[in-house]
Structure 1
Amino acid sequence: MHLPPHAVRPDYAGGSVLNLAATLGAHHGVPTHHAAYRHPLPLHGARHVVLIVVDALGAGQLRDAITRGDAPTLASLTPTPGPVTSVFPSTTMAALTTLHTARAPAEHGYLGLTVWLDEAQAVVNLIRLYDVYTHTPLADAGFLAAVPSLYRQMRDRGVAAHVVMPAAYQHSVLTRWACDGAEYHPYAQPEETPALTAATLQPGQPSYTLVYFPDYDLICHGSGPDSPEAHAELRRTDRIVADLLAALPTNGDTLVVLTADHGQSAQLPDGYVDAITKKVMKTALRGPVAGEERAAYLRPQPGHHAEIAALLAPHATLLTADDAWTGGLFGPPAHADPRLRPRVGDLIAVPHPGHAIRRPTSPAPMPGLHGGWTAEEMLVPVLSARI
């Protein structure tokens, strides 16, 4: 599998969020299915682990924020001594689910915001759980729970598992599966998270707590990752993390790790590609385009593969889904679940930097996107503190 020079390949051999999750799980006794995280973490003797996930905080975005003076708290934490990648695609559905399960996208099956589901014979939005073309609800979503959550496995081993997440997410199908086994601590405003997190650390029992901040990602999508609004939100997040650290007991029993699921890249309006029209979708494709605007999954009609490739080749790197799957783009091939392979279609188009593939089912253009394999999207920070 040949990737272009600008592509950052997910480092499932020890330098990705998959390996980070596997190592944190292994610390609390969960059998690991993947290589250990290769960078040192002060885990020895830690009874409590707190994992903070700031959605869309790419390593480059954090570096720029520290240079601006916007993130003094994050600057005070110990950075990992080497690059860390997201998974592919570099999107929340794939990467946050990996952090919840310590499994690669090719194992847990959440391979993008929308995927082809053989079980439904449709391209389905995995958040809203409906056919993206007809909006018909998915009748049965039970089959989507392909692997156990980290939290269930920890709780079965006597470790108290917690998630501190927005109240709006508490009852979704994805949350009920991915956070199975964890006590859910909902919040209305992120300023509530310090007190909620501190309450999860009890002296008599080892614990694992994931704290999730989604707002930075939402603002980057709506205003752009380099916007004043995004900078202000990151300053707010930094203050909240400072309060969270101050709220935790300082007896040396707790390891705090901060990371992101992916980064964000700025997207100009003229970089959107309108190659997949309704006519093309109806005549040359077997159903809607799936995946992400920065990582599209297509199912060409027989005899139309060359036509689709010609439309997209000027704007994107094209590779067959078989090559991407067996080449380890979605996770180590030895662990990939072959039943999930159809979800990424037959042809994968990863737009060149600055481009995005719009389709008839796309939302309005956004000034911030992710999902592809540029450094802005793929490289994430890992910071830690033992307190």
Structure 2
Amino acid sequence: MTLPPHAIRPDYAGGSVLNLVATLGAHLGVPARHAPYRYPLPLAGVRQILLIVVDGLGAGQLSGAAARGDVPALAALTPAPGRVTSVFPSTTMAALTAIHTACAPGEHGYLGLTVWLEEAQATVNLIRLYDVYTHQPLEETAFLAAVPSLYRQLRRSGVGSQVIMPGAYKHSVLTRWACDGATYYPYTRPDEIPALTAPLLRPGEPSYTLVYFPDYDSLCHAFGPDSPEAHAELRRTDGVVARLLAALPRTGETLVLVTADHGQSAQPPEGYLDVITRPVMKTQLRGPVAGEERAAYLRPREAFRTDLEARLAPHATLLKADDAWNSGLFGPTGQLNPRFRSRVGDLIAVPSPGHALRRPTSPAPMLGLHGGWTPEEMLVPVLWARV
């Protein structure tokens, strides 16, 4: 399957966040389902792993912040010597769930913010769990927990784990599954993180800890990744990381890593495409557009497929979903769950850089987006320090 020149494929052979978490889990006794992380990490003698995930922090965004002098704590850490990718689609539902489970999107099933669920016969928002067209809630959700969380696997290996995340997320269906097996430490403000986290890393006791910062991504969406608001939030995040590093016990047994689920690309308002109107959706599609504004899943009616492709082709790369599924875009071939194939529709539209597919069911336009395969969306940092 040929992608456009600007496209970055997810590097599931060793250079993605999926491989990173698979290697971290393997170090603590979890059998790895995926290739090891390609770049060297100082894991010899490590008993505690602390993984910090800054949602939306692309490698390019971090480089820009370092050049401005905004992130002295992060800039002092050791970077990966080569590029590291997100997964596809480069979005929180797919990538953060991969980090929580050590499984590829095509294995865990969370393939975008919205997907077609055969089980519910509806296009469903996977965070709010409702039909995006009727807004009826999804009554049955147990089938969404398709794989065990990494924390559950760690518990089976005799290793304790904990997640430090906003309290508002604690009781959601997704969190209860993705963080199953971990002790949940909620915070209200990020500046609470150092005091919550440092006591959990006990000398001599193997453990795995994840700290999650969601606010930078939210501000990039609202104001754009190059906005003063996003820059200020990244400075605040760096300050919290600095205080966390200072609070950790110096035993030499702890590996601290910082990464992201995906990056963000600036989205000019004029780049939103209005090619899928409500009449088009009702007549030419078998249900609402799913996926993301930067990676849309469509189920065209066969009689209108040619017309729909003609509408989209000037603005987006179009992929047959079967080709994308079988070429390894959603995870290593041979390891994907065929039950999830229908969730990505029949046709995938990835808009050209600077463009986004506005949908009748979309929220208000955002100034920063992700989900596609540009370097800004796909490349993420991996930084580490041994303490």
Match of 1:101 in 2: 101
1:118 match: 118
Task: Using the TM superposition, give the Cα deviation of residue 203 of structure 1 relative to its aligned residue in structure 2, in angstroms.
Answer: 2.6
Between the aligned partners of 1:291 and 1:371, the Cα distance in structure 2 is 8
Superposed, 1:180-329 pairs within 5 Å as 180-329=180-329
Cα deviation for residue 205 of structure 1 reads 2.1
Secondary structure in structure 1 of the residue aligned to 2:11: coil
Residue 44 of structure 2 is matched in structure 1 by: 44
Measure the CA separation in 2 of the matches of 1:163 and 1:52: 10
Residue 71 (structure 1) aligns with: 71
Within 5 A, what are the aligned runs for 1:19-168? 19-168=19-168
* 2:212 counterpart SS class: strand
Whichever residue aligns with residue 382 of structure 1, its letter is V
Matched residue SS, 1:303: helix
Give the aligned residue type for 1:130. Answer: Y
Contact 2:203 2:251 in 1 (8 A): no
Amino acid at match of 1:338: P
How is 1:331-350 mapped onto 2 (pairs within 5 angstroms)?
331-350=331-350
State the one-letter code of the partner of 2:164.
V
Kept in 1, the 8 Å contact 2:47–2:204? The answer is no
1:365 corresponds in structure 2 to: 365
Q: Which runs of 5+ in 1 are unaligned?
A: none
Partner of 1:194: helix, strand, or coil?
helix
Q: Quote the Cα distance in structure 1 between the aligned partners of 2:324 and 2:26.
A: 28
Q: Name the aligned partner's letter for residue 199 of structure 2.
A: A
Instruction: State the TM-score, normalized to the length of structure 1.
Output: 0.99
Q: Partners in 2 of 1:304 and 1:385 — Cα distance? A: 55
For residues 69 and 297 of structure 1, the distance between their equivalents in structure 2, rounded to whole angstroms, comes to: 40
CA apart distance, 1:304? 1.4
2: CA distance, partners of 1:333 / 1:120: 26
Contact 2:151 2:181 in 1 (8 A): yes
- The amino acid that maps onto 2:316 is A
Report 1:2-17 matches (<5 A).
2-17=2-17
Question: d(CA) in 2 for partners of 1:106 and 1:200?
Answer: 33
Q: Distance in 2 between matches of 1:191 and 1:44?
A: 31
**Superposition deviation, residue 298 in structure 1:** 0.0
Query: Structure 1 residue 202: deviation in Å?
Result: 1.8
* Counterpart-to-counterpart distance in 1, 2:187 and 2:109: 28
Q: For 1:274 and 1:223, locate their aligned partners in 2 and report how far apart those are by CA, in whole Å.
A: 21
TM-superposition CA deviations, 1:31-77 (whole Å, max 9, x none)? 01100000011111101000000000000000000000000000000
Q: Secondary structure at the match of 2:50?
A: strand
Indicate the SS of the match to 1:6.
Answer: coil
Amino acid at match of 1:178: A
Partner Cα distance (1:288, 1:233) in 2: 34
Quick one: distance in 2 between partners of 1:177 and 1:307? 41
For 1:304, what is the secondary structure of its paired residue?
helix
Match of 1:355 in 2: 355
> Post-superposition shift, 1:303?
1.6
Which whole-Å CA distance do the structure 1 matches of 2:199 and 2:216 have between them? Answer: 25
Q: Which runs of 4+ in 1 moved over 3 A?
A: none
Name the CA distance, whole Å, in 2 between partners of 1:155 and 1:86.
Answer: 26
* Deviations, residues 214-236 of structure 1 (Å, cap 9, x unaligned): 00000000010000000000000
Quote the offset at 1:204 in angstroms.
4.6
Distance 2:339 2:101 in 1: 18
Structure 2 distance, partners of 1:346, 1:143, is: 22
**Which letter maps to 1:380?**
V
Partner Cα separation in structure 1 for residue 113 and residue 45 of structure 2: 38
1:123 partner amino acid: T
User: 1:308 & 1:21 partners in 2: Cα distance?
Assistant: 39
State the alpha-carbon separation in 2 of the partners of residues 329 and 158 from structure 1.
Answer: 33
Instruction: Summarize deviations over 1:169-203 as a string: whole Å, max 9, x none.
Output: 00000000000000000000000111111121123
- Once residues 146 and 199 of structure 1 are traced to their aligned partners in structure 2, the CA distance between those partners, rounded to angstroms, is 33
Return the alpha-carbon distance in structure 2 between the equivalents of residues 67 and 130 of structure 1. 43
How far 1:252 sits from its partner (Å)? 0.2
What does residue 175 of structure 1 align with?
A: 175
Find the residue that maps to 1:19 and give its secondary structure.
helix
- Matched residues, number: 387
Q: Which residue is equivalent to 1:381?
A: 381
Shift of 1:97: 0.2
SS of 1:53's equivalent?
A: strand
C-alpha distance in 2 between matches for 1:96 and 1:367: 21
- Is contact 2:267-2:369 (8 Å) kept? yes
SS in 2 for 1:164: strand
The gaps in structure 2 that reach 5 residues or longer are: none
CA distance in 2, matches of 1:144, 1:2: 32
Three-state SS of the structure 1 residue aligned to 2:303 is coil
Task: Describe the SS at the equivalent of 2:209.
Answer: strand
